[in-house]
Amino acid sequence: MLELEEQVLGADVVVPQPQSLPERELQRLAPPPRRRRIDNSRLSPGTGRWWMPIVRPMSAAPTQDEIGLYAFRVWGYKQGELTATLIHLGDRLGLFRALAGTGTTDAPGLAAAMGLHERWLLEWLRAMAAADLLESPDGKRFTLPAAAEAVLVDEDHLAFAAGAFTGGHPEGFVDQLAEAFRTGIGPDYDAQGPQGAHGTERTSAAWARTALVPSILPRLEGVVVKLEAGARVLDVACGGGVAMAALARAFPATQVDGVDLSRHAIERAERNLEGLTNATCRLGRAEEVTEAAAYDLILTFDCLHDMTRPAEAIAAVRRAVREDGTWLAKEIRCWPTWQENRKNPMLAMFYGFSVTGCMASATSEPGGAALGTVGLPGPLLQELAQAAGFTRFATHDVDDPANLYYEIRV
Ligand SMILES: C[S@@+](CC[C@H](N)C(=O)[O-])C[C@H]1O[C@@H](n2cnc3c(N)ncnc32)[C@H](O)[C@@H]1O
């Protein structure tokens, strides 16, 4: 579509822009209109100042409305970044838990209950209310909505999310990401520091602790019976060992082994497995698991798309699983095409996790597969499983908003 635009030649010209934007606030955020110098060489010889129409594509110059709305979108992410830090502080200082226990309170009341500084609490409380995470009629009294307990306080609730707010990255991590754009080699999980491993663990822990044994395993053919009788389980890329601990507690006759490449994750797993005599974990690579036909159940939870060599890891799973055994893969709920994935309203967050975690890890050695967070949809996993010698493939949707589970057998 083309638009006629009248301009004075030979002078700095303010490109006319519609002024119909109702949200004045959006305009305030936008930069001033662009001044364009018109190219005098385009004038015919002998012409002075005069008027002539110039034809330009509609899309060449954004309107004030477009700039304002785009700026609003961008600043929304800044608001998200800052709010994320404040959610982390609320989680770390136990403020959400305290609010859940007290009902409506004010800054002096919370300060007295927590032994913290009143002025700092007031600013934090107002920030959380401004973000609609607390209710406040007057900016003085604050209430945690009932639904917030599941999301911000109860670590065993499947909707628990506060653990994902880790308070940022360790020093130098973002520099490593920038460097990865030049070298192609990304930082591995350990580069995210101990808080990275802890955040990853807390993000998935509720599912491992409260859904794996009662809701997910019973969907798999013959697995629970074997585990009750005494079997061998391997958790590949076990992270903080929460799934291992749940299995070892529920099935005392079963031996649970775990392996992970991250020393921070293995340190967490050792702590989480303390006191369990039927669970052990070790530092190591999935693709270097050497046991043959040893395991009745092998887990790969949220990890194959993070690996530099997922096909080799799957080949190791195939070697390690017994002929009548089961491989249970948990992978990100994603699809083969951009158009399908675009329907996910949190897709930008998934890609954010990818650049800072999954794809970074999956490129952490030369020639890494670089699948990334949404890079291993069901059809591709099935293809890789078939190539490794598996023949049976079933998808289980257990209403986990971020993941699907795959039961894969020889
Ligand atoms: C997103 S975390 C998931 C951890 C755990 N399975 C869970 O569900 O919480 C991915 C894990 O994969 C591990 N990992 C990545 N590549 C690996 C490899 N080649 N061998 C073993 N572990 C690997 C990372 O260290 C990290 O702990």
Mean pLDDT calculated for residue range 387-405: 98
Q: What is the pLDDT of residue 25?
A: 40
What is the pairing mode between strands 295-301 and 232-236?
A: parallel
- Please, are residues 219 and 196 in contact by the beta-carbon 8 Å criterion? no
**Residue 189: CB within 6 Å of ligand 1?**
yes
Q: What is the pLDDT of residue 38?
A: 34
Distance of CA 354 from the midpoint of ligand 1 (Å): 13
Q: Give the whole-angstrom CA distance, residue 382 versus residue 142.
A: 50
Three-state secondary structure string covering 331-379: EECCCCCHHHHCCCCCHHHHHHHHHHHHHHHHCCCCCCCCCCCCCCCHH
Which ligand 1 atom sits closest to the C-alpha of 238?
Answer: 6
Nearest to 134 by CA among 165, 106, 93: 106
**Residue 310: CB within 6 Å of ligand 1?**
no
Q: What is the pLDDT of residues 88-141, one digit of tens each?
A: 999 999 999 999 999 999 999 999 999 999 999 999 999 999 999 999 999 999
pTM score, two decimals?
0.86
**Residue 166: CB within 6 Å of ligand 1?**
no
Mean pLDDT calculated for residue range 54-64: 72
Distance of CA 220 from the midpoint of ligand 1 (Å): 23
Can you point out the beta strands (E) in 206-361?
A: 232-236, 255-260, 279-283, 295-301, 321-332
Q: What is the pLDDT of residues 237-284, one digit of tens each?
A: 999 999 999 999 999 999 999 999 999 999 999 999 999 999 999 999
Q: What is the pLDDT of residues 190-245, one digit of tens each?
A: 999 999 999 999 999 999 999 999 999 999 999 999 999 999 999 999 999 999 99
**Residue 306: CB within 6 Å of ligand 1?**
yes
**Residue 239: CB within 6 Å of ligand 1?**
yes
Q: Give the whole-angstrom CA distance, residue 311 versus residue 359.
A: 16
Contacts of 117 (CB under 8 A, 6+ apart): 111
Torsion over CA of 269, 274, 279 and 284, rounded to 10 degrees? 30
Q: What is the pLDDT of residues 324-335, one digit of tens each?
A: 999 999 999 999
Q: What is the pLDDT of residues 296-318, one digit of tens each?
A: 999 999 999 999 999 999 999 99
Residue 105 pairs with which residues in a beta bridge?
A: 142
Contacts of 93 (CB under 8 A, 6+ apart): 114, 116
Ligand 1 mutation pick, 190, 261, 263, max ligand atoms within 8 A of CB: 261
Domains and CATH numbers, the chain: 2-62 (no CATH), 68-164 (1.10.10.10), 173-409 (3.40.50.150)
